[in-house]
Structure 1
Amino acid sequence: MRVGLLTREFPPDVYGGAGVHVEFLARELSQLVDLEVHCWGEGRSTGVVRHRPWPALDDANDVLRTFSVDLSMTAALEGRDLVHSHTWYANLAGHLAKLLYGVPHVVTAHSLEPLRPWKAEQLGGGYALSSWAERTAIEAADAVIAVSGAMRDDILACYPALDPARVHVIHNGIDTGLYRPDPGTEALVRNGVDPERPYVLFVGRITRQKGVPQLLRAVRRIDPDVQVVLCAGAPDTPEIDREFRELYQEVSAERAGVLWIPQMLPRADVIQLLTHAAVFVCPSVYEPLGIVNLEAMACGTPVVASRTGGIPEVVDDGRTGLLVDVDGEFETNLARALDTVLADPAAGARMGEAGRVRATTEFGWDAVARRTAALYGEILAQA
């Protein structure tokens, strides 16, 4: 079975959950099928073909540049038996390959453009094009994979023309051999974190989706003796970047121990930071699943997260962490939940241990890959 896996992100250029998903899925799928990854970038290596936007579009809207990559991917997919695209950045390539070569197209939906209206701030008129590309690909796909049950509901609500029988739930996974508690603290010291003081940790992009402004306002209310470590970069727009910086400066002026790490850290550093955090916080206002919560749980850390999207399918409220409703009291209740975990380290440790067990037993990437390959087989048998 010759499969083309289409994505924007792939190592070494991974900046979000979709990229993490594709990285580990590809590693496991390559043991089960003849896999060729098509991604953004320069050059070619064994099993990986990289494509860059057309130079003639260097000054054009980002969506047009994306479409030029999609055309390049499509041209390179001849001979594949099936194509599998991830995010709107690659969906159009999968759809065009389906039409051009007569092969099945599988879409994994990591998020949905209709549920991210703030993307118009980033893409301008390109948001209408990204939405069109996603809708066209999803509605014509032979199968759509939702990364959570909540995501499946969202897909069918946004695209009611889609046959529900074509939407399958295959959760995101976690490599619990890689993401595991690391007793070392050198990464903390190197990045300015005091290992002797408890800290709240956030890891994610600076976007409206991730709820970073709400988090900054919430930490004003938590125990002032606790450090707050923000591994936050890759802002979507200059506007959200400016808002974040202003809030960060305000909060830093009000309380000590607020540390911003804007650069993308090596994975080993992130694992150490996750391991030693008193609590990991995920304040997303929209999150189909949230791999980063699995990463924290696999490192034995309790999680305080939004009760939104697929997060409740990962974080077991009261057992592996606490969930907070995204409502008018969100920031107040987020601060209260963080203080609850911080005030009882023994209970936090029990939540962390339960999270590690849950991540290990229920979310392995090998199982994700087997379910994905089985779906490919079913689709090809019906073709």
Structure 2
Amino acid sequence: MRVDLLTREYPPSVYGGAGVHVANLTRNLRPHLDLRIHCYGDSRPDAGVRAYPVGLGEGSGTALRAMAVSMAMGHAVRGSSLVHSHTWYTNLAGHVAKARHGIPHVATVHSLEPLRPWKADQLADGYRLSSFMEEAALVGADRLIAVSHAMAADIVRVYPAVDPGRVCVIHNGVDTTEFAPDHGTEHLERLGLALDRPMVACVARISPQKGLGHLLRAAESFLRGTQLVVVAQTADSPELRRRFGLAVARLRDTGVPVVWISGPFPRAALCQLLTHARTFVCPSVYEPLGIVNLEAMACGTAVVAADVGGIPEVVVEGETGLLVPATASDDGRPADPARFVRELAARVNRLIADPATAQRMGRNGRCRAESRFSWEQAAQRVRAVYESAVRQTG
């Protein structure tokens, strides 16, 4: 079976959870399929990978260029048995491929545009276009793969024209050999981190979705001496990056030890950071699953995370971490931001003050990641979806 996978992100250009998903899924599918990759950006040396060097502009230009790339991808997949699209950037390409070549279309849903209203600030009037591209593709797809049960429920709620029988759930995975406890300290020492202080770690994109502003406000109430380390290398816009830098500087001025890692950060350094952190914090206000939580758990780290989306399907309250109640308002942000910040700080402080509980949760998290979340298992289930879609349309 030949499968053409359509994605914006593909190594080495990976900046978010969808890119991590695609990289691991393709690695595990390749031994079993004739897999062709269509992605954005510069050409790759890998066989079977075709890149589309159409640059992305700002605002509405981003959506228009994505539409142009989708048209090109949809034309290029002629001869494939099936196309598999990821995110709105390429969902329309799968829709075009189905309409033009009669190829079944499977779409993995990593998020939904209508549930991310802050994207209007990033895409301007292109947000309406991105939402249109997503809806047309998902309603017309032969199969939809949701990365969590919460995501599956959102799909049929937001797009009622979607037949629930076409939606299945396949959780993201984690490579527990790549992400594993590393008690070395050389990378952390090179960064000048204080190893004699309890550390709180966070890894996120600078975006309203990821809730970093709430985390910085919560850090003002962390127990004295707690060191906050935020790995935030990418941002939705230069302006958001600038504002985040100012917020970090203001927090430092209050005496809170906070480190912002904004540049290259090797995987080995990340594993050491997660291993040595007392807790990993995920303050996202919208998170269909949250691969970063799985990565932290695989490193044996207790997790404090917002009780949103698919996070409770990964982080088990009281067993592998602590969940922070978060009721969203119409704009997707916490209905009571001040309360969310207080509750976040309280849970972090609970684990800072109780290292034994944090260690127990970390051990449980490692076991859960190993036993319940593997990319090999996810790839097997994806292959079964492919076979079902081909049989039905064949």
Tell me the TM-score normalised to structure 1 length.
Answer: 0.97
The DSSP-based 3-state class of the residue aligned with 2:14 is coil
For 1:265, the aligned partner's letter is F
Q: Residue in 2 aligned with 1:360? A: 370
Task: State how far apart, in whole Å, the 2-side matches of 1:72 and 1:208 are.
Answer: 31
For 1:381, the aligned partner's letter is R
Kept in 1: contact 2:118–2:208 (CA 8 A): yes
For 1:200, the aligned partner's letter is V
Pick aligned residue for 1:369 from 362, 379, 393: 379
Task: State how far apart, in whole Å, the 1-side matches of 2:67 and 2:4 are.
Answer: 17
Q: Residue in 2 aligned with 1:51? A: 52
Task: State how far apart, in whole Å, the 2-side matches of 1:192 and 1:310 are.
Answer: 35
Q: Residue in 2 aligned with 1:171? A: 171
Kept in 1: contact 2:211–2:284 (CA 8 A): yes
Q: Residue in 1 aligned with 2:392? A: 382
Task: State how far apart, in whole Å, the 2-side matches of 1:364 and 1:228 are.
Answer: 29
Q: CA deviation at 1:302?
A: 0.2
1:328-377 Cα distance to aligned partner (Å, 9 max, x none): 21000000000001111111000000000000000011000000001110
Kept in 2: contact 1:54–1:68 (CA 8 A): no
The DSSP-based 3-state class of the residue aligned with 2:341 is helix
Q: Residue in 2 aligned with 1:14? A: 14
For 1:230, the aligned partner's letter is V
Task: State how far apart, in whole Å, the 1-side matches of 2:273 and 2:359 are.
Answer: 15
Matches within 5 A, 1:35-184: 35-44=35-44, 45-53=46-54, 61-184=61-184
Q: 1:54 to 1:274 in 2, by over 3 A?
A: closer
Q: CA deviation at 1:59?
A: 10
The DSSP-based 3-state class of the residue aligned with 1:31 is helix
Task: State how far apart, in whole Å, the 2-side matches of 1:370 and 1:283 are.
Answer: 31
Q: CA deviation at 1:60?
A: 7.1
For 1:190, the aligned partner's letter is R
The DSSP-based 3-state class of the residue aligned with 1:209 is helix
Task: State how far apart, in whole Å, the 2-side matches of 1:264 and 1:117 are.
Answer: 30
Kept in 1: contact 2:278–2:352 (CA 8 A): yes
Segment of structure 1 superposing worse, 366-375 or 326-335: 326-335
Task: State how far apart, in whole Å, the 2-side matches of 1:240 and 1:353 are.
Answer: 36
Task: State how far apart, in whole Å, the 2-side matches of 1:127 and 1:59 are.
Answer: 8
Kept in 1: contact 2:59–2:122 (CA 8 A): no
Q: 1:54 to 1:250 in 2, by over 3 A?
A: closer
Matches within 5 A, 1:233-312: 233-312=233-312
Aligned residues: 382
Kept in 1: contact 2:59–2:123 (CA 8 A): no
Task: State how far apart, in whole Å, the 1-side matches of 2:270 and 2:11 are.
Answer: 16
Percent of pairs with identical residues: 52
Kept in 1: contact 2:181–2:271 (CA 8 A): yes
Tell me the TM-score normalised to structure 2 length.
Answer: 0.94
Segment of structure 1 superposing worse, 85-94 or 35-44: 35-44
